[in-house]
Each structure stands twice: as C-alpha cells, then as structure tokens.
Amino acid sequence: MHDKDPGHLAPESLMMGFGYVPEWSEGAIKPPLFLTSTFVFRSAEEGESYFRQAYGLDPGGPTQPKGLIYSRLNNPVLEILEDRLRVWEGAEAAASFASGMAAISTTILALCVPGDVIVYSIPVYGGTDFFFNHILPAYGMRAIPVQAGDGFAERVRALKLAHARVLYVETPANPTTLMTDLAAAAALKGELSRPGAEGEAGAVAPGETILMVDNTFLGPLWQNAVACGADLSLYSATKFIGGHSDLIAGAVLGRADLLTHIKTFRTILGTMAEPFTAWLMLRSLETLKIRMEAQAANAEKLARLLADHPAVGRVLYPGLLEPGSPQHELFVRQCSGPGSLMAFEVGDGTDKAAAFRVLNRFRLAHLAVSLGGTETLVEHPAAMTHADVADEVKARTGITPGMIRVSCGVERIDDLVADFRQALDPEGAKPLR
C-alpha cells in the first residue's frame, strides 16, 4: 500500500500500510525505526542533487520524493507518518512537529512577517494565547482576539480591518467547547485579503488571508477542518493522535504550497518530530478510530450523568446541545460526532474551592492536564491550562472559577460513573468496586 493515491479506502484501513513498502525493509510488516542522524549518499552527484532539492534550488517534479540527507530535514518514519496523517482530512500534504506549540509557532513564523495581523478566536488554549500576546509583538505582529461562537464572522467584520494575514480559529473552544462556524470563517478570507499586495519575505501568497484551524478537540475523526474550508488544520498530536499520554508531538495538514514553506522553516528552526515519536504515532494511528469512538461513547454517558447531578450547575458538551439552537445546528452541519471533551461547573461556577474539593476526591480519573489519552483526565482550566490568560478574558469567555474540564478515557463506564458520583457527593455515593 505504498501508492500515494489512497483511492477509495477508508482512513482507518489505510493506517495499516499506506506509505510503506515492506519489501524495502526485509519484509517487516511494520515500518522499522530509523534511529539515525544522517544518511549516506551513493555518489557526490546524488548528494548535490538532494541538497539542491532540499533548499528549493532544484525542486523537481511534484511526485519526486525528497532524497534522505539528515533527520532534521526528513526521515523515512516521518515521511510515512505524514503520508498517513494527510489521509484523515484529505489534505494535500502534512508536516509533523515536536509539539503542538511547535506546529503553531513554526506555522505562524513561516507565513507571517512584521506588520501582519492575526485575528484569533477566544477562548483559546493558554499556550496559544501566550504566544499571540507575549511572543509575537516582539516580532512586530499584532494578534486581535474575537469572541468565538455564534456571530464570530460578524464580529470580525466589525473590526473593519484592511487586511489580516491569518484567521485562527479553535473549535470547539478550549475549555468551553463553544463551536465556531468554519464555513463562515472561510468565507471571510476573501474579505480580509489584500489583492495585488507586493511580495514580502516569508509570504507564500502576499496579501492572502490564511484560515488556520486548531482541530485538536474533535479531529481528525469527528471534524474535518480542511473539508470545511481551512487552509491548514493544526493539531497537538500529543492528544488523540498519540493517544496514550506517552509522547509530545504536533501536526499541520493542508495545502501543499503552504506546507512546503512551513517545512523549510521547520528545518531551520529544528522543530520537527524526532523518529521515535513518529514511530509511536504510526502505532497510535492504527487504533485512533476505535479509541476515539470508545472515548466518545463514555463521554456521552458521563455528560448525561453530570447534567442530572444536583451538585452540577452546567455541563458544556457538544452532545448535549439543545436541538434547534444555533450551536446544535452548527454541530450537525460541521461535525460527525461530539467527541470526548467536556467541561462542567460545580454549583453556580463561582466557587473555586468547591471545584478543588471535587478534583481532590477523584480516585479513578487522574488530576492532570492534557487530553485525548486512554485514561480519563480532569483539571481546573482557570488555575491550570489557562492560568496565563487575563482574568478579564476568562470572565468574558466563560472560564469560571468553578469549572472542571474532563477528557474521557476508555475505562469501563460503570467505574467512571461511580468515581464521578463519589467525587461530587462523597457522602451519598456508593464506593468504587
């Protein structure tokens, strides 16, 4: 299954062999791990050719594979991984990174120059917020936050910007699960573009507005950002793609012209995934669908329990959206499933101490940040993942002191239910088995 055209097969089927030729590796059914820093050239002429290709001096044909030089540029395991990653969203190309933040920061630095404006949805992951507000200004770039959810496009239009280089949307939003219309965001690109702009260093298409979507929460199984109009779909691959809480990685999928430029920056910045991490992700991709389905099944049952519990004031989960509401209509149009991430508020959401008491009582669920692993994780967004977000922004976007974020794992649902019941009501709940 080394054909570059995945044909009619489903992504979960292609994860078992796409992009790999067993005959090239002694017939091994799984790709071997290439733990090497450098690769030997068969001749000086070949070495020259590979370097000219790597630095864009002689790019060759669109289907010509890049010659192997050095694992900061490419590695067989990374190439197989990127072939398989792009399959999930039908993307033209993909790039793997050392972390989700490496994917975000490298992509922004590759495509933006001093003076550029980035419009981004809030709430957004705390690390992204920090990068936009505390790192980019030193490079002459300005990031403008816009409330996510219904009316996002109208709020962006109200800014009356002459141009925005990047429209960055995280949907569902972290941690509130608020959804933003990607089709409407894609329609904004033409309005925010600057036709006829002069070429700028670093710009692939000067004047073009690029839609980037953080697709970590629902992708790649439950939401296809590329199909919804995104130029680039970004991931913390640490989460569902890695899926076992044992690696750190990132990924970007999308347009080949943009990915070519991003990969050049990745080479120079040194932000690529290393071979062992890529090899682990190949393992994880084989079970991605069944893991995400099992996690979502648990989440739907747990969300209903929380919604009915007297100690819980509010549950934020796509699977509980009210039919007929704008958010529900968007969910039906944009997603194929609700995923396994949710947030709930203890009481009226104003009491941090009450939320901490609940968090400290969990016995099966783990009190830890991150998400998408096989184990259930609970955390306090306001004090942990979003600690660096301004208090005013947290208040405006609904990240309350009493909020707890939950990433459902694959444990037996009866055991999870018992754990949540005893954490919320230790006096009235039955003990864990």
Do 307 and 239 belong to one domain? no
Residue 406 lies in a domain: yes
Provide the CATH number for the domain around residue 362.
3.90.1150.10
Which among 257, 285, 313 is the end of a domain?
285
Confidence at residue 1, expressed as pLDDT on a 0 to 100 scale: 47
Confidence at residue 24, expressed as pLDDT on a 0 to 100 scale: 85
Count of beta carbons in the 10 Å neighbourhood of residue 52: 14
Confidence at residue 194, expressed as pLDDT on a 0 to 100 scale: 83
Tokens of 110: 């590759």
In SS3 terms, the chain reads as CCCCCCCCCCHHHHCCCCCCCHHHHCCCCCCCCCCCCECCCCCHHHHHHHHHHHCCCCCCCCCCCCCCCECCCCCHHHHHHHHHHHHHHCCCEEEEECCHHHHHHHHHHHHCCCCCEEEEEECCCHHHHHHHHHHHHHHCCEEEEEECCCCHHHHHHCCCCCCCCEEEEECCCCCCCCCCCHHHHHHHHHHHCCCCCCCCCCCCCCCCCEEEEECCCCCCCCCCCCCCCCCEEEEECCCCCCCCCCCCCEEEEECHHHHHHHHHHHHHHCCECCHHHHHHHHHHHCCHHHHHHHHHHHHHHHHHHHHHCCCEEEEECHHHCCCCCHHHHHHHHHCCCCCCEEEEEECCCCCHHHHHHHHHHCCCCEECCCCCCCCCEEECCCCCCCCCCCHHHHHHHCCCCCEEEEECCCCCHHHHHHHHHHHHCCCCCCCCC
8 φ, ψ (degrees, to nearest 5): -95, -5
Residue 6 lies in a domain: no
How far apart are alpha carbons 372 and 394 in whole angstroms?
23
Do 361 and 257 belong to one domain? no
Tokens of 284: 């994880």
Dihedral class, residue 229 (left if φ above 0, else alpha if ψ from -120 to 50, else beta) = left
Do 79 and 208 belong to one domain? yes
- The answer to whether the Cα torsion of 185, 186, 192, 198 is positive or negative is positive
Do 144 and 202 belong to one domain? yes
User: 217: which strand partners?
Assistant: none
Confidence at residue 226, expressed as pLDDT on a 0 to 100 scale: 98
Do 319 and 183 belong to one domain? no
Number of domains forming the structure of the chain: 2
Do 276 and 315 belong to one domain? no
Residue 65 lies in a domain: no
Q: What is the pTM of this model?
A: 0.92
Which among 249, 267, 285 is the end of a domain?
285
Do 244 and 274 belong to one domain? yes
Residue type for position 384: M
Provide the CATH number for the domain around residue 264.
3.40.640.10
pLDDT tens string, the chain, 433 residues long: the values are 455 566 679 999 999 999 988 888 888 888 999 999 999 999 999 999 999 888 878 765 545 567 899 999 999 999 999 999 999 999 999 999 999 999 999 999 999 999 999 999 999 999 999 999 999 999 999 999 999 999 999 999 999 999 999 999 999 999 999 999 999 999 999 899 887 666 555 556 778 999 999 999 999 999 999 999 999 999 999 999 999 999 999 999 999 999 999 999 999 999 999 999 999 999 999 999 999 999 999 999 999 999 999 999 999 999 999 999 999 999 999 999 999 999 999 999 999 999 999 999 999 999 999 999 999 999 999 999 999 999 999 999 999 999 999 999 999 999 999 999 999 987 765 555 4
How far apart are alpha carbons 16 and 59 in whole angstroms?
30
Confidence at residue 3, expressed as pLDDT on a 0 to 100 scale: 56
Which among 285, 301, 333 is the end of a domain?
285
Do 205 and 110 belong to one domain? yes
Confidence at residue 207, expressed as pLDDT on a 0 to 100 scale: 87
Do 250 and 343 belong to one domain? no
Residue 28 lies in a domain: yes
Do 348 and 312 belong to one domain? yes
What residue numbers bound the domain in which 172 lies? 11-36+71-285
Do 121 and 265 belong to one domain? yes
Q: Which residues contact 44 (CB under 8 A, 6 or more apart)?
A: none
Residue 102 lies in a domain: yes
Do 200 and 299 belong to one domain? no
